[in-house]
Amino acid sequence: MKSEPVVQLRNVTKKIGLKTIIHPISLDIHKGKVFGLLGPNGAGKTTIIRMIVGLASITQGQITIHGANVKYEFEKAIQHVGAIVENPQMYTYLSGYRNLIHTANMLPHVDRKRIKEVIALVGLEKSIHQKVKTYSLGMKQRLGIAQALLHRPSVLILDEPTNGLDPAGIRELRDHLRKLAEVEGTAVIVSSHLLSEMELMCDEFAIIQDGKLIGVKSLEEMMHHDSSDVTIALQVDDPEEAYEALTTAPLDISCTLKDQTLTVKLANDQIPRVVFTLAQGDINIYEVKRVTQTLEDKFLEMTGVR
């Protein structure tokens, strides 16, 4: 079902002097998907985004957008892209409307009607003629999105879009991006170090660390991969005894005892046998709880921080 990728990175490398900032990376970003670039600060997400939008040069490899090479056919490639790199920056001494006019003047086929449309889309009708210096961060963010969407780009690129937003703002942005991807078929690329947010926003992730691509996973893959291996937490009346009983039993499990909580990592089909073993040892079981691993745990596991 996957179509031709809209944005393609092929062995993209960035060197500054002798130092390699980005090791060869290849990625495909598809229509109608929200693609996340995840990684700790300084991992190279921003550098990758800057190379895609032509702000930073590409040392080796190539990036194409709708088949146009960013390096050699920049204007052709970038006309499909709406981008906010880092926080949206505006001319604060101009009104929101003039900022939009400024952007519209640089884009093909944007008329007054479309400008009105995007103002309504981001809900800034009331304050659009005020100077941007009077705007709150959330309003600036919405104005930034309006600017990025003016020419109905088929690729939307947002660098750290949730930075500085309050939870309501983040939620609003998330709904917006999902809608764009699902309804309009826009390919969205976002970067972030906030996993919990990306978890709700993205369909696919590339995990970046130290300028290297660690892996590309879809959300389902991330969450349900090796689902045969689960972790359960047990509440029993005598944890020490229970620990003793489980470690001596002939089971293929690993137990840890910490703060009176017994945590067991095991294959899914081993759970009844654990319960059985404990019951046989005359230990009272109050609760058997499955511990779902969050994306964050997975992420930290993959990047080897934990």
Q: Which residues bind other proteins (CB under 8 A)?
A: 47, 50, 53-57, 74-76, 78-79, 81, 83-94, 98, 101-103, 105-108, 147
Q: Which of 220, 165, 163, 216 is nearest to 192 (CA)?
A: 163
Tokens of 248: 């001596």
Least Å distance between CB 92 and other proteins?
8
Residue 6 vs 214, nearer CB to other proteins: 6
Least Å distance between CB 231 and other proteins?
40
Q: Are the CB atoms for 205 and 222 separated by under 8 Å?
A: yes
Residue 45 vs 298, nearer CB to other proteins: 45
Least Å distance between CB 103 and other proteins?
7
Amino acid letter for position 138: G
Residue 59 vs 235, nearer CB to other proteins: 59
Which pairing describes strands 212-218 and 261-267: parallel, antiparallel, or unpaired? unpaired
Least Å distance between CB 301 and other proteins?
30
Least Å distance between CB 163 and other proteins?
13
Cα-to-chain-centroid distance, residue 280: 47
Least Å distance between CB 95 and other proteins?
9
In terms of C-beta density within 10 A (0-12 exposed, 13-18 middle, 19 or more buried), how is residue 40 classed?
middle
Residue 165 vs 230, nearer CB to other proteins: 165
Residue 51 vs 246, nearer CB to other proteins: 51
Residue 18 vs 183, nearer CB to other proteins: 18
Alpha helix (H) residue ranges in the chain? 45-52, 74-78, 96-105, 112-121, 137-149, 167-179, 195-201, 219-224, 239-248, 271-280, 295-303
Q: Rounded CA gap, 20 and 211, in Å?
A: 8
In terms of C-beta density within 10 A (0-12 exposed, 13-18 middle, 19 or more buried), how is residue 136 classed?
exposed
